[in-house]
Structures are given as C-alpha cells and as structure tokens.
Amino acid sequence: MDYKGLERVLLYFKSFYLCIMNIQSAYNIWANNYDEDKNLTRDLDAEIVRKVFSNQKFNSILEVGCGTGKNTVLFASISNHLTAIDFSDKMISKAKEKVKSENANFQIADITKDWNLEENKFDLITFNLILEHIENLNFIFEQTHKHLKSKGLVFINELHPFRQYDGKKAVYTENGESKEIDAFVHNISDFINSANENGMRLLKLNEYWHEQDQNKLPRIISLKFIKD
C-alpha cells in the first residue's frame, strides 16, 4: 500500500472511533433524562415489547443495548438468565436501579468489537433502538449468530428506515441545546440480507405507529429471525 492509501485507512479508523466516542458520550449525558424526556419512539418500543413478550418464556436472553433498563425488567421476568449489555456506564447504572432480579447480569460492552460475554449462547437476542448507531450490520449479525443457540431467535425493533430517509435521528438535550446522535441508515433489505448471509431466516416483519402518528410514516420496524 502506498502512503496515500495508508493515510486513507488511518483517517477511516480515526473517524470511526471518534463517531463511536461521540455516541457513547451522548448516551452518558442522556442517561440523566432518558426516562423522563418526551419520546414517542421509546414509549412505542416498550409497548411492542410488552405485547410480543409478556406471555413468553426463555431460558437465556441477551439484551443488546439495554440502556436505562426500560425493557430489561420484562426480559428478566421472562427468562431464567438475562445478560444485558451496553457501552454507556451511565445508562447501565440507571438500568441497575430498576432491575433487582438475581437472574440479571449486566456487562459494559461495545458491540462493534468482538463480544466477550460471560454466558456464551442464548435462546433469544434482542436489539431495541440501538442498530441505527451501528455502521457495520454484518459484524453484528455475525456475532449474533455466534452467540445464538440452534433455533434461537433474534428480535429487532428499530427506528423505521422511512423515518431515517426523512432525516429523523435520536435527539437529546445538553445545556438546553438539542443535539442529534450520529446514526447510520439501514434499509429493510440490509437487515434481511445481512441476517440471511449470516445464517438467520426472517420469521416476521411488522411496522408500528404510535397513536399520535396518524397519517405519518411508520415509526418502528420490527423483525424476528431464527437461526436454522
């Protein structure tokens, strides 16, 4: 590789790590108000999770990007072992205040790097409102496949790509100023193809609107995959 090529590679890695750091520090700040801020996407996600999972039971669940634990309480109640991971220590601290169950284990982890988890294989892996912050979906599905038992399920609830095309992103407030958090657009086909390429098959695709979303674009896309 010539000097110019090397410079381009170094610049790419520099911007990648700066972006990850920005996202992490944004969530460390947002942790203080995440639960109280007006946030229809967060509320709709919680409603969907309750509807889909309330009557289900799993041996082991991995919740990826648990945040302040909005869904962690439910996931802990429907599993024998729950591992909840996130790279924001401030978000995880809030989650720990909510979740007192002995079967819940929290770990600080950046999912853009190899997942070194204490428990290795899960029956269900969930992602709620995290994948918009991840550039390389393929790496995530590769790691998901590695940590899923055979016939294990993957559940994904994300900001709908139609809203992303419209420029919508997660927004928090710092010192009275609204700030957007870095995000990457993933098309519906990106999720499905990347899961397929990594050995997981689509079982269900749904779209959801909040009750205040009349005549608007769908707010959340929901995908369920199985590892064959």
Ligand X SMILES: C[S@@+](CC[C@H](N)C(=O)[O-])C[C@H]1O[C@@H](n2cnc3c(N)ncnc32)[C@H](O)[C@@H]1O
If the CB atoms of residues 92 and 195 are measured against ligand X, the closer one turns out to be 92
d(CA 221, CA 186): 11
Smallest separation (angstroms) from ligand X to the CB of 71? 6
Strand 122-128 vs strand 148-159: parallel, antiparallel, or unpaired?
parallel
End-to-end CA distance of the chain: 41
Q: Which is nearer to ligand X, 133 or 227 (CB)?
A: 133
Residue number, 109 or 228, with CB nearest to ligand X: 109
Q: Which residues, in sequence order, are CB contacts of 88 under 8 Å at separation 6+?
A: 24, 27, 28, 31, 67
Q: Which amino acid, one-letter code, is at 132?
A: E
- Supply the minimum distance, in Å, between the C-beta of residue 61 and ligand X: 13
**Nearer CB in complex with ligand X: 5/167:** 167
Would you say the C-alpha torsion 218, 53, 64, 72 has a positive or negative sign?
positive
At residue 84, φ and ψ (nearest 5 deg) are -120, 125
Minimum distance between the CB of residue 115 and ligand X, rounded to whole angstroms? 10
The residue (of 63 and 123) whose beta carbon lies closer to ligand X is 63
Residue number, nearest CB to ligand X: 67
- Shortest CB 27 distance to ligand X, Å: 4
Q: Helix, strand, or coil here: 132? A: helix
Phi and psi at residue 222, to the nearest 5°: -125, 125
CB of 97 to ligand X, least distance (A): 14
**Burial of 63 per CB tally in 10 Å (0-12, 13-18, 19+):** buried
Nearer residue to ligand X within complex by CB, 159 or 195:
159
| Residues contributing to the site for ligand X (CB under 6 A) | 23, 27, 42, 45, 65-67, 70-71, 86-88, 91, 110-112, 128-130, 133, 170
CB of 218 to ligand X, least distance (A): 17
Is residue 82 within 8 Å of 118, Cβ to Cβ? no
